[in-house]
Structure 1
């Protein structure tokens, strides 16, 4: 049986559904027993922190997939942000993993982040799993520290650890900036993103879930770190154009010099967003291909179409939250 933490989240729901579809016995560990499929065995855990008791959830479990985390916070009101991330992403992960090892769990799969590698790459020089980590923000630092703690625990206990670092994940139900992008495209708003020649790796939800499922039992995955993506990198301009096509609303883009775009973003307090729109961030997924024989099963255009259909289904008249700038 497989135990999934964070099972009510964006990735967790899709993962549990896919495991069930493939006939895998799966147990969902959630903070509260709401929003999960009735076909999935659910164990309410309450708050997930360094003191959480996982005893009941771990009964009979052979593999754990740890998704629950404190994710990147755009406007963090916590006084000591790094300390908050460490408590949520390091202390809670190590507490969970220690109990898993004591319970006889054979494999612990940790969903980390490409932010462990860093924030940007030179064009055409993607990150690899063997690169020296260079996290910048508290979220990336906490994920790296959790990875290091898990590797030490694996050496001490013999429990196999698998680490997966995804870039931005998109798919049906995606929120935040990707959702906002679809909103503006669907509304036909002209955007100054028509001449950005960067390259960024993304990963479709279906592709990430497929790699996670592959890592549950594949012998070559033991104690390895994998980067994942769709296998096709897009510029911001290309992403906008292809997302617009998926929405049935061709993107209305006009060119603006990168320096002017970044300067305007800084004046508006959107420096980080401008960096993501303009800089490159590429990942090399060849390790997963070579070691696991894994290929992303869904193409970028297929995934964008699926994402767009879900968006249009749930936002038939536009998104009121986006209009108020709250997405």
Structure 2
């Protein structure tokens, strides 16, 4: 008998891919979506709501085995909220804990929370990756809200007994990726010269298919109960290496100029773009050995294959 899964965020980048995989693997799926949203999936029960913060979950969770909570107020650049932390807490903490409380009351066995590596912090020293057991050190309101949600979920698990699994992804890429990753593909596709040919940092990334596979494993594996997992492809790259691999996947030459990292960082600081400089020149690495030790999980998709799939989707959309 297949397990029943209640999924939030089913129209998002991660949630949509997870929904397709759950259906393909014959899970019984109920998806929570905003009113008016359209799901490209057959055989899925849909629960519509006006606002995640005000949604009532009492009847939706009856008979559910696992909740996978992907929905969130996501990190945005140049947030226009007067108090971003208040806005993040309303969705990422209060609404999350309300859903978890209702799930526990309905007898849901396990609650899988998609958190963020920002709970750990904003960057690492090269060769000194974050681990799931490191003390949290979030550096922005989004990371703080995710940390507080984690803390609330652990307290709920200890009090009520529902199993909680926390997953902290690094930067996710794959077919349909947007934001900075999409911008980099566009730059490479246009053949623009880029000043990123001499960056010797280390960045952990995670392909969408690898993240989805880890989520499903964490939702079902007995040893995942009440654990926190970091997730990546298991192959760290410098920004220079990533751009070269991405260009190769696009079938384009990479025109990378060997501008020293310190010069890029100085220029970014002068322009008020320190956070962009950190993402391009700084390191952020994670250790995923715990995943293999506890759940025998290793990333099923290689970086090269994931980049090829991402590039193929990008090219198809251009036609």
TMscore range, shorter length: over 0.9
- Structure 1 pair 33/289, CA: closer, same or farther in 2 (3 Å)? farther
Q: How does 1:172-321 map to 2 (within 5 A)?
A: 172-316=175-319
Measure, in 1, the Cα distance between the counterparts of 2:313 and 2:72: 25
CA contact (8 A) 2:198 2:240 kept: yes
* Residue matched to 1:60: 63
Alpha-carbon RMSD across the aligned residues, in angstroms, is 1.0
TM-score, normalised to structure 2's length?
A: 0.97
* Residue matched to 1:93: 96
Deviations 1:236-281 (A, max 9, x none): 0000000000001121101112121112223333221111100110
* Residue matched to 2:5: 2
Measure, in 2, the Cα distance between the counterparts of 1:126 and 1:150: 25
- The answer to whether structure 1 residue 123 and structure 2 residue 126 are counterparts is yes
- The answer to whether structure 1 residue 47 and structure 2 residue 51 are counterparts is yes
- Deviates further, 107-116 or 34-43: 34-43
Which of 28, 31, 40 lines up with 1:28 in the alignment? 31
CA contact (8 A) 1:52 1:95 kept: no
Moved over 6 A (4+): none
Measure, in 1, the Cα distance between the counterparts of 2:129 and 2:247: 26
Measure, in 1, the Cα distance between the counterparts of 2:17 and 2:131: 26
CA contact (8 A) 2:173 2:206 kept: yes
Deviations 1:155-189 (A, max 9, x none): 11100000000000000110100000000000000
Measure, in 1, the Cα distance between the counterparts of 2:304 and 2:60: 38
Q: Secondary structure at the match of 2:76?
A: coil
Q: Secondary structure at the match of 1:125?
A: coil
- Deviates further, 37-46 or 180-189: 37-46
Deviations 1:260-307 (A, max 9, x none): 111222333322111110011000000011000001000000000000
TM-score, normalised to structure 1's length?
A: 0.95
Query: Would you say how many aligned residue pairs link Structure 1 and Structure 2?
Result: 315
Segments of 5+ residues of structure 2 without an aligned counterpart are none
* Residue matched to 1:75: 78
* Residue matched to 1:135: 138
Segments of 5+ residues of structure 1 without an aligned counterpart are 317-327
CA contact (8 A) 1:7 1:29 kept: yes
CA contact (8 A) 2:291 2:297 kept: yes
Measure, in 1, the Cα distance between the counterparts of 2:195 and 2:166: 37
